[in-house]
Amino acid sequence: MAGRSKKYRVLIGKPGLDGHDRGAKVLARALRDAGFEAVYTGIRRTPEEIAAAAVQEDVSAVGLSSLSGAHLRLFPAVVEALKQRGAGDIPVLGGGVIPDEDLNALKQAGIVEVYTPGTSLAQVIEAFEKACDRHHQGRSKT
Amino acid sequence: MAEHPKAREWEERVLGKSLQRFPERKEKFTHHGGEEVPRVACPEKIDASYLEKLGFPGQYPFTRGVQPTMYRGRLWTMRQYAGFSNAAESNRRYRYLLEHGTTGLSVAFDLPTQIGYDSDDSMSVGEVGKVGVAIDSLADMEVLFDQIPLDTVSTSMTINASAAVLLAMYVAVAEKQGVPGEKIKGTIQNDILKEYVARGTYIFPPRPSLRIITDIFQWCSQHTPVFNTISISGYHIREAGSTAVQEVAFTLANGTAYVQAALDAGLELDSFARRLSFFFNASSDVLEEVAKFRAARRLWARLMKERFGATQPSSMMLRFHTQTAGNTLTAQQIDNNVVRVTLQALAAVLGGTQSLHTNSRDEALALPTEESVRIALRTQQVIAYESGVGDTVDPLAGSYFIEQLTDSIEAQASELIDTIDRAGGVVAAIEDGFVQRQIENSAYDYQREIEQGERVVVGVNKFQTDEKVRPPLLRIDPEVERAQVQGLKKLRQSRDSAAVQAALAKLGKTARSDANLMPAILEAVRCYATLGEICRVMRDTFGEFRDAG
Amino acid sequence: MNREDLLQGLKARDPRAIARAISLVEDGDPLSETILGSLDESRIEQALVLGITGPPGAGKSTLTDQIILGYRARSQRIGVIAIDPSSAISGGAFLGDRIRMMRHALDSDVVVRSMATRGRLGGLCAAAGATVRILASSGCSPVIIETVGVGQSEMDIIRLADVTALVLAPGLGDDIQAMKAGLLEVADILVVNKADCAGAETLAMDMEAVARESRDKGGSTEVCMTVASRGEGVAELLETVAALEKIYRQGGEHGRRRRHAHDLEVLDWALELLRPKLLEKIAKSGTNRTGDPRLKAAAILKGF
């Protein structure tokens, strides 16, 4: 992956008030070690702030983490905020303490992948890789 | 007991006194067959090294425990942390628990309450009532404790940045019940330093936060003398990914910062030191955890005696609550979590905890269901009533392995505390991000070991099964948020606005001065100023801390 | 976003277009030349490029956050390029400087861009220089370049700045000693941050001595004291920046620095553009992997 000609830029954000950032930070570092350029926003961000940062950083994917049970409100809000900034093409992935029965609702709201505790980093990184591939392909059509 | 003058002295002075006041649970503790279980097993020959490193339970350096008879006298407190969306719902649950013999409540607040936002704040969207009860004003607090006698119940509140406001509301509710401050019992977590490095529910920067904390110490020492004013927490530091050594070092370093801040504010050491309590994590490496608890007790005793010159034994005792490690729970094969929690709870008991919360098996998926909570409580009861580990004090003492590990953890933690001191103390180390980086590195290394299969997590990276049946989960109705916001709107219309404005103005003035904040906060709370309004005034004066990464 | 949309968007200060333009140039996309050719040169000339550097832990990001506040109070549009090192092993990067500036996220006149060094030999100057130009052309002034002052490539980057502040803090003793030789030479302002902490006075005295030495040699180095976490001393710092900018513009130093930076960028671009061609030549130069590499290099370059 280190030999990839183009660098994928991704953004890891924590929307809402949940301060448990262990997973988000570990993932951002794992992405770095897989050759990504990972922007991290820190905790307690609003969906609008995360979307604005994703636009400024021109990332190819956004990863969100929430452990407080607010994901059904906050994850779709990020997707919506991206759309409002003309960046609806940026794929959004999510992770955290998320019950199975919420997966459908999240996917319908435009979250491309959702991961729960115990998922291997390799699996999550692969999903970012794929999401970025697709996004870059869409980009280069211009 | 071994024959030694020091042993006799302990038996007569410490043990004897304790037995008079607190008789043991049974006249005789025996194995099946009648053989008696000794109270405290000791080496045959007691030497200077034993006395220096271990000593006897209830005696400096408290390696073997803070009480002479430990669980033979009284079992640890089984305290399960819980909070349910809104005040009325929580009140029903608390009253149910009290009717069934519980004497201690443990209140979980939702994130907006913990971070000082009202439920109708734009920052609160999606979070109201999610991880605990939403409290916007004294009105909610009155509902929360309706018909609960605050003169007999002890209440533990997991609240930090906004602790002063919640404590004021608690005091105000007690007043309305006719219960004076001298009589209220309980604990506020009130440990802001670990929020910056681990849990994230901070509001203000570290220095004004420390002022609020010492204001609480001071005010409580005069008005609520039996209320525990802080619970210095390593739990969340460990959850954030630290090692056992880092958990001890950073927690005790935070502890010394609070002690120093209180001394600087002119408080007398022995007036507040015995009201300090601690909160640790119990993870699955059972023997390391046991050694960790013993090392933490010895190191704190030495710090208090040698650094701060404490003279009272009660000022040197590290009393602690334990919670099993949430981060070890897996979303896969959730029943395996019951076994993990059992090992962790056993470690806490073998390490001499004063109270214990056992996690529920489904917490990697959502808030626990009632059935899961019951299994978690039963786990503690099996250890307490069936395992026999509480029938003798500090049963693992004298194991070569345990004693070496205890020494090693103490030495490493002590070295880390020295490093922090050399870098200008723990507040500077937090502002620099030193502590955060240390924890992050440990968290990342741990995850990498799991990824590479060097560390096995049963059911996750080995022994996986295909799971079809998903367990039932507890959900919070989104209606809770709407109703809470509605109630707040009504309150704002019905209260005396002029009184609120006046109280808030006074609070602002107090915040800008050196005076104790508690009376002004109490006044604002009494006239139904909201938590968000009170914290807004303090935000404007103290500024806000922002994530340092 | 097609080519026209991109160029239109750049003119209209559309955040997405600005961000995409930076990525394309950074990735060496064929569109780079069109993008860079479309920029407003007079705006670029007028903009102030402010370098902020210093060792880890000195509080650069916190200070940058406060500096942004200061300029926003005067309604100036600001660009920030926050540079973090890439991992030598994976080539990836953890870009965390933004965390401390997130309160400006919704302010469309604060354009923050995180950038990784990408382990380039040179190259970084080209990418950062182009980003400065894109941001300045979109109306940002100042454009702040924030970078850790440790590696050679970060030192080169600072040469893109019109005015450079070196941020130091007490308690970082050894780092400062090691840096004295290099960075103190490029710093116009020595900022003693965390001025409320123990050791700040000693550090300030040391820095005053360095500044005096510089002034004796005809330089104009200044010392500022700040407590970035509380915003103290930031207004004075900005005044010092403005004063130095004025002196440099009037005395010709500004032009000299811009020309020097320009040459540096040209060289960097030349190497950047040459690299793929060189790699191709090396690959074609035969299968023989023995013999002196330098002689081979000279032989390849003869063809240029």
- DSSP codes joined into one string, C209-274: HHHHHHHHTT---EEEE-BGGGTBTHHHHHHHHHHHHHHHHHHTHHHHHHHHHHHHHHHHHHHHHH
Inter-chain residue contact A17 with B123, CB threshold 8 Å:
yes
- Residue A132 touches partner C, C-beta closer than 8 Å: no
Token pair in block for residue A20: 């448990």
For residue B91, how many other CB atoms are within 10 A of its CB?
Answer: 19
Q: Which among B423, B543, B548 has the least Cβ separation from residue C100?
A: B548
Q: How many residues does chain B have?
A: 549
Closest by Cα among A52, A55, A113 to A89: A55
| CA-CA-CA-CA dihedral for B204, B206, B207, B209, to nearest 10 | 50
Q: Count CB pairs under 8 A between chains B and C.
A: 25
Tell me, what's the pLDDT at A1?
37
Chain A residues whose C-beta sits inside 8 Å of any chain B C-beta: 16-22, 25-26, 29-30, 40, 42-44, 46, 68-70, 72-74, 77, 97, 99-101, 116-118, 120-122
Which of C197, C227, C232, C234 would best serve as a mutation to test chain B binding (most B beta carbons within 10 A)? C197
Per-residue pLDDT of chain C (304 residues; tens, 9 = 90+): 889 999 999 999 999 999 999 999 998 889 999 999 999 999 999 999 999 998 888 889 899 999 999 999 999 999 999 998 888 889 999 999 999 899 999 999 999 999 998 876 556 778 899 999 999 999 999 999 998 866 666 677 888 999 999 998 887 655 566 565 665 677 899 999 989 888 889 889 988 988 888 888 888 899 999 999 889 999 999 999 999 999 999 999 999 999 999 998 898 888 888 888 888 888 887 777 788 888 888 888 887 6
Inter-chain residue contact B329 with A70, CB threshold 8 Å:
no
B529: in domain: yes
Residue of C nearest to B434 (CA): C57
Tell me, what's the pLDDT at C10?
95
- Does residue B503 carry a pLDDT above 90? yes
Question: Which residues in chain C touch residue A13, judged by CB atoms under 8 angstroms apart?
Answer: none
Mean pLDDT of B162-175: 98
- Does residue B130 carry a pLDDT above 60? yes
Interface of B with C in 420-439 (CB under 8 A): 423-424, 428, 431-434
Query: Which residue has better confidence, B471 or C280?
Result: C280
Inter-chain residue contact B239 with A22, CB threshold 8 Å:
yes
Interface of A with C in 36-95 (CB under 8 A): 36-42, 45, 48-50, 52-53, 55-58, 85-87
In angstroms, rounded to a whole number, what is the distance separating the alpha carbons of residues A121 and A64?
14
B468: in domain: no
DSSP type of residue B369: P
B255-305 tens-digit pLDDT: 999 999 999 989 999 888 988 999 999 999 999 999 999 999 999 999 999
Q: What is the largest CA-CA distance in chain B?
A: 75
For residue C270, how many other CB atoms are within 10 A of its CB?
Answer: 12
Report H helices in B423-548: 426-432, 434-451, 479-494, 497-512, 518-526, 531-542
Contacting chains of C (3 CB pairs or more, <8 Å) are A, B
Q: Residue C125 carries which side chain, given as an amino acid letter?
A: C
Q: Which among A16, A19, A77 has the least Cβ separation from residue B199?
A: A19
The total domain count for chain B is 3
B8-22 tens-digit pLDDT: 999 999 999 999 988
Looking at the structure, tell me whether residues B115 and B23 fall in a common domain.
no
Sheet with B230-233, side-by-side order of all strands: B77-78, B355-357, B320-324, B276-282, B230-233
- Residue C99 touches partner A, C-beta closer than 8 Å: yes
Closest by Cα among B102, B28, B421 to B254: B421
Looking at the structure, tell me whether residues B530 and B442 fall in a common domain.
no
Question: CA separation (Å) from B276 to B32, B272, B447?
Answer: 40, 7, 34
Closest by Cα among B288, B260, B180 to B427: B260
A29-60 tens-digit pLDDT: 999 999 999 999 999 999 999 999 999 999 99
B391: in domain: yes
Is the separation of the CB atoms in B161 and B203 below 8 Å? Answer: yes
Inter-chain residue contact B130 with A118, CB threshold 8 Å:
no
DSSP type of residue B390: G
Looking at the structure, tell me whether residues B140 and B177 fall in a common domain.
yes
- Where in chain C are the domains? 1-38, 41-300
Contacting chains of B (3 CB pairs or more, <8 Å) are A, C
Closest by Cα among B91, B31, B9, B82 to B372: B82
What ipTM was reported for this prediction?
Answer: 0.93
Inter-chain residue contact B432 with C57, CB threshold 8 Å:
yes
Question: Which residues in chain A touch residue C92, judged by CB atoms under 8 angstroms apart?
Answer: 2, 7, 31-38
Tell me, what's the pLDDT at B146?
97
Mean pLDDT of B501-507: 98
Distance from CA of A120 to the nearest CA of B (A): 6
Token pair in block for residue B81: 């942390």
Class of the C41-300 domain?
alpha beta
Residue of A nearest to C114 (CA): A57
B114: in domain: yes
Closest by Cα among A43, A97, A33 to A70: A97
pTM of the model: 0.91
A61-110 tens-digit pLDDT: 999 999 888 999 999 999 999 999 999 999 999 999 888 889 999 999 99
Domains of chain A: 9-136 (3.40.50.280)
B521-542 tens-digit pLDDT: 999 999 999 999 999 999 999 9
Question: Which residues in chain B touch residue A64, judged by CB atoms under 8 angstroms apart?
Answer: none
Looking at the structure, tell me whether residues B308 and B444 fall in a common domain.
yes
Q: Which among B424, B547, B549 has the least Cβ separation from residue C171?
A: B424
Tell me, what's the pLDDT at B428?
85
Beta pairing partners, A94: A64, A114
- Residue B200 touches partner C, C-beta closer than 8 Å: no
Residue of A nearest to C81 (CA): A57
Which of A22, A32, A75 would best serve as a mutation to test chain B binding (most B beta carbons within 10 A)? A22
- Domain, as residue range, for B21: 5-63
Cis peptide bond N-terminal to A76, omega within 30: no
Distance from CA of B236 to the nearest CA of A (A): 9
Assign residue B384 the CATH number of its domain: 3.20.20.240
Report H helices in B232-384: 235-239, 244-264, 269-272, 286-302, 313-316, 336-350, 370-382
Tell me, what's the pLDDT at B80?
74
Tell me, what's the pLDDT at A3?
42
Question: Which of B46, B63, B80 is the endpoint of a domain?
Answer: B63
Q: What is the mean pLDDT of chain A?
A: 92
- The band of A2, judged by pLDDT with boundaries at 50, 70 and 90, is very low
Query: Which residue has better confidence, B326 or C268?
Result: B326
Question: Which residues in chain A touch residue B340, judged by CB atoms under 8 angstroms apart?
Answer: none
Mean pLDDT of B127-131: 91
Which of C101, C102, C111, C124 would best serve as a mutation to test chain A binding (most A beta carbons within 10 A)? C102
DSSP type of residue A100: G
Q: Which among C15, C86, C94 has the least Cβ separation from residue A56?
A: C15
Mean pLDDT of B436-443: 95
B52: in domain: yes
Looking at the structure, tell me whether residues B426 and B509 fall in a common domain.
no
Question: Which of B451, B473, B506 is the endpoint of a domain?
Answer: B451
Looking at the structure, tell me whether residues B116 and B179 fall in a common domain.
yes
In angstroms, rounded to a whole number, what is the distance separating the alpha carbons of residues C191 and C189?
6
3-state secondary structure of C151: coil
Token pair in block for residue C232: 């103290």
Contacting chains of A (3 CB pairs or more, <8 Å) are B, C
